[in-house]
């Protein structure tokens, strides 16, 4: 049986069973959990849009899968077009989205959801699925079946979300680094401890209120980007509200790791990390440019990696963004792709327009190939994580 939850009360009615599917899976990510999605619908989704959580129940009435979408109205001139798009991505940039189902139930759920999606396309809708794991079962099968159905489709260019497979010890991690990087990190730790006597900590529920710590973190983040004369994604009020509220829930559920480096009780670097099952998700970074010579951004990240290893996690996910510091820390590229498909009429022409914009964008990027890279202090300091850009 298949249905579509189109209101928050309807989604809340299936949230517990949805949570159970995610928690019992070794393959599903934090960003497809009802905790992430419900908050996204409440704080980020435009009031003009509507939730569309496609749910599937088995013959025994048990919820066995969901596909979280948002229903939007787009226009080709004066002509309205219905768009179904992956929820949980816009503004907050959730990664590893897609179909939520256990390995045991995946085939059954996929068949139901695929048929529903293709029915919407035949009715004139445009479907846009984004932030899917390239080579993942859902993306691979969906691309095959869209081609087989002979609808028009567009492969949205992949975005890279680097991942670091964690070794068993921090010493083993250091051996992955080149000798210059390893020595530089050790030297920077020695020098900043010698010069400032830093305090290194992680937010816990029994420490200062999370609201006050986040306020400090946002102030530091804003000043970093102001010093560069650049704008930050966190200027978006909806993103800031989402992050504040999600951090509150993550703290209550033991997922949040807000690591801090302080000098004389003043926050000079901080990372927002989420620990979920066997994975650490590196969501955002802030640091004081006055400490750039110490590579302080890299120090707080390597500390985050150390604690993830100490907690027995197996993966450190840097999330989307191809900043070079991620690869210097030996993360490997991992692609997120998108699929957009339509059958005919205005939806088809919107798809064609998207394809044209993408080709123009590729041409512009090639022409800008010699443009200046993002500023990096001495080649050792860090840009903001593109997970929220």
DSSP 248-310: HHHHHTT-EEEEEEEETTEEEEEEEEEEETTEEEEEEEEE-GGGGGGTHHHHHHHHHHHHHHH
Q: How do 256-263 and 266-276 pair as beta strands? A: antiparallel
In a domain, 38, yes or no: yes
125, 221: one domain: no
CB–CB of 35/19 below 8 Å? yes
CA distances from 353 to 1, 73, 74, 85 (A): 36, 16, 13, 17
Query: Does residue 220 belong to any structural domain of this protein?
Result: yes
* DSSP bridge pairs for 84: 71, 127
Read off the pLDDT of residues 221-252 as tens digits, 9 standing for 90 and up.
Answer: 999 998 888 888 888 888 999 999 999 999 99
Cβ-based neighbour number of residue 388 at 10 Å = 22
Together in a domain, 127 and 275: no
pLDDT in tens, 354-367: 777 766 766 776 77
Residue 389 lies in a domain: no
Which residue in 108, 116, 109 sits closest to 32, CA to CA?
109
Question: What pLDDT does 344 receive?
Answer: 80
Q: Can you give the pLDDT at residue 205?
A: 65
- pLDDT(195) > 90: yes
Question: Do 255 and 269 fall within a single domain?
Answer: yes
Same domain for 175 and 229?
yes
Check whether 142 has a pLDDT greater than 80.
yes
- Domain-embedded: residue 91: yes
Q: Is residue 373 part of a domain?
A: no
Q: What is the pLDDT of residues 271-294, one digit of tens each?
A: 999 999 999 999 999 999 999 999
Q: Tell me, yes or no, whether 252 and 213 share the same domain.
A: yes
324 within some domain: no
| Domain shared by 211 and 242, yes or no | yes
In-domain check, residue 6 = yes
- Domain count along the chain: 2
Distance CA 278, CA 257 (A): 14
Distances in whole angstroms, Cα of residue 294 to Cα of each of 59, 225, 273, 383: 60, 18, 22, 15
Q: What is the CATH number of the domain that holds 72?
A: 3.40.630.30
* Whether residue 168 sits in one domain with residue 149: no
Q: Where are the alpha helices (DSSP H) in the chain?
A: 8-23, 34-43, 106-122, 137-149, 170-176, 179-196, 210-227, 237-252, 296-310, 324-328, 345-367
Phi first, then psi: give them for residue 274, nearest 5 degrees: -115, 125
Where residue 374 falls among pLDDT bands split at 50, 70, 90? very low
Read off the pLDDT of residues 307-319 as tens digits, 9 standing for 90 and up: 999 999 999 999 9
The two most distant CA atoms of the chain are separated, in Å, by: 68
Band the pLDDT of 141: cuts 50, 70, 90: very high
Q: Note whether 298 and 340 are same-domain residues.
A: no
| 383: in domain | no
Q: At what angle do helices 296-310 and 179-196 cross, to 10 degrees?
A: 100
Q: Which domain holds residue 183?
A: 163-317
Average pLDDT score over the chain: 89
- 310/220 same-domain check: yes
Whether residue 211 sits in one domain with residue 266? yes
Model-wide pTM > 0.85: yes
Give the model's pLDDT for residue 180: 95
Residues linked to residue 154 through DSSP beta bridges, in sequence order: 340
Distances (CA, A) of 257 to 58, 202, 214, 280, 363: 37, 6, 12, 9, 40
**Strand spans (E) along 23-87:** 50-57, 63-76, 79-86
Kindly state whether residues 141 and 195 are assigned to the same domain.
no
What does the chain come to in residues? 389
Pairing between β-strand 199-202 and β-strand 256-263 as defined by DSSP bridges:
antiparallel
Are 299 and 267 in the same domain? yes
């Amino acid at each position: 049986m298949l249905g579509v939850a189109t209101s928050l009360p309807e989604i809340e009615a299936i949230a517990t069973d949805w949570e159970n599917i995610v928690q019992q899976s070794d393959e599903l990510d934090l960003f497809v959990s009802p905790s992430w999605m419900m908050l996204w619908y409440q704080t980020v989704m435009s009031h003009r849009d509507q939730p569309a959580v496609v749910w599937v129940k088995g013959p025994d009435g048990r919820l066995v899968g969901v596909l979280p979408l948002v229903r939007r109205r787009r226009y080709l001139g004066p002509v309205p077009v219905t768009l179904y798009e992956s929820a949980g991505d816009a503004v907050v940039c959730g990664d590893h989205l897609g179909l939520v189902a256990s390995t045991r139930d995946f085939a059954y759920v996929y068949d139901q959801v695929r048929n529903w999606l293709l029915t919407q396309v035949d009715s004139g809708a445009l479907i846009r699925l984004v932030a899917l794991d390239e080579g993942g079962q859902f993306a691979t099968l969906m691309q095959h079946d869209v081609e087989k159905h002979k609808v028009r489709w567009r492969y949205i260019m992949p975005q890279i979300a680097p991942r670091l497979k964690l070794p068993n010890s921090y010493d083993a991690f250091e051996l992955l680094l080149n000798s210059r990087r390893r020595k530089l990190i050790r030297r920077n730790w020695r020098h900043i401890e010698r010069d400032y006597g830093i305090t290194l900590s992680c937010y816990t529920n029994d420490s200062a209120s999370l609201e006050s710590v986040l306020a400090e973190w946002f102030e530091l983040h804003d000043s970093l980007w102001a010093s560069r004369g650049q704008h930050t994604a966190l200027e978006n009020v909806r993103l800031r509200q989402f992050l504040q509220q999600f951090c509150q829930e993550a703290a209550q559920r033991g997922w949040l790791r807000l690591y801090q480096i302080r000098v004389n009780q003043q926050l000079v670097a901080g990372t927002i990390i989420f620990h979920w099952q066997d994975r650490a998700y590196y969501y955002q970074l802030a640091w004081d440019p006055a400490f750039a010579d110490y590579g302080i951004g890299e120090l707080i990240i390597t500390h985050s990696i150390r604690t993830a290893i100490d907690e027995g996690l197996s993966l450190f996910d840097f999330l989307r963004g191809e900043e070079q510091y991620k690869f210097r820390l030996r993360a490997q590229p991992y692609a997120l792709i998108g699929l957009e498909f339509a059958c005919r009429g205005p939806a088809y022409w919107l798809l064609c327009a998207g394809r044209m914009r993408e080709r123009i964008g590729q041409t512009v990027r090639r022409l800008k190939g010699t443009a200046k890279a993002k500023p990096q202090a001495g080649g050792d300091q860090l840009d903001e994580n593109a997970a929220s850009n």
